[in-house]
Amino acid sequence: MPYLIDGHNLIGALPDIDIDDPHDEAKLVIKLRGFVARRGSKCTVIFDGGLPGGASPLGGGPVTVIFASARHSNADALLKRRIDNIGDVKGWTVVSSDREVADYARRRRLRQLTAQAFARELDRPAAAHKANDADEKPAPSQDDIDEFMRLFGADDAED
C-alpha cells in the first residue's frame, strides 16, 4: 500500500520529533524507512519550504522525499497535484490532517488518515504489524542516525 504524506503535518503529530529541530525532516525519513520496510510498501513525503524545491537526496529506495519550492508552491498544492496524477487509486493512503487535502483525497476515492492516526501506526512496534516475521528490520541505532546526518550534511545546518 503506497502512502502520500504531508511531512510537516506528520512531524507536528509525532511526540518524539520537534518541528523546530533542524533535523526534523531527516528524522521523519528515518522513521518512514523503517515503517515501509516493515510493511513492504513505499511512500512519498512532501515538505514545505525547500530551496530550491523538488526531489531531495534524503529520499531513496521506497521513500521519495520532495520539498515544495518556498517561492512557487507549498506542500498542500503538491499533494493535490500528486493526488490528481495517481492513475489507479486502489491501495493508496493520503496522510494529512489538513481538511482541504483530506477532502480532496476522499473525493478522488483515496484512503485518508489524519497525521495523528498515522503517527500511532508509525510508532507501533514491529510485532504489532507482522507477527513472527523473521526478516524484520531493526530500528536504526543512534550510530546509524548520526551517519545518516553526516552523509547528508545535516550537521552543517547547526553552524
CA distance 105 to 83: 7
Q: What is the pLDDT of residue 27?
A: 94
Query: How do residues 74-111 score in pLDDT, each as one tens digit?
Result: 899 999 999 999 988 889 999 999 999 999 999 999 99
Query: How do residues 62-82 score in pLDDT, each as one tens digit?
Result: 999 999 887 767 899 999 999
Name residue, grid cell 526531489: 55
Q: What is the pLDDT of residue 129?
A: 46
Q: What is the pLDDT of residue 153?
A: 63
pLDDT at residue 29 is higher than 50? yes
DSSP string, 43-69: EEEEEEEESS-EE-TT-BTTEEEEEEE
Paired strand residues for 5:
45, 95
Whether the link from the prior residue into 22 is cis, omega within 30° of 0, is: no
Does the global pTM surpass 0.85? no
56's CB contacts (< 8 A; 6+ apart) are 50, 65, 66, 67
pLDDT at residue 5 is higher than 70? yes
Q: What is the pLDDT of residue 151?
A: 75
CA distance 17 to 33: 15
Output the nine-digit C-alpha cell for 139.
530500528
Q: For residues 139-152, give the mean pLDDT.
A: 74
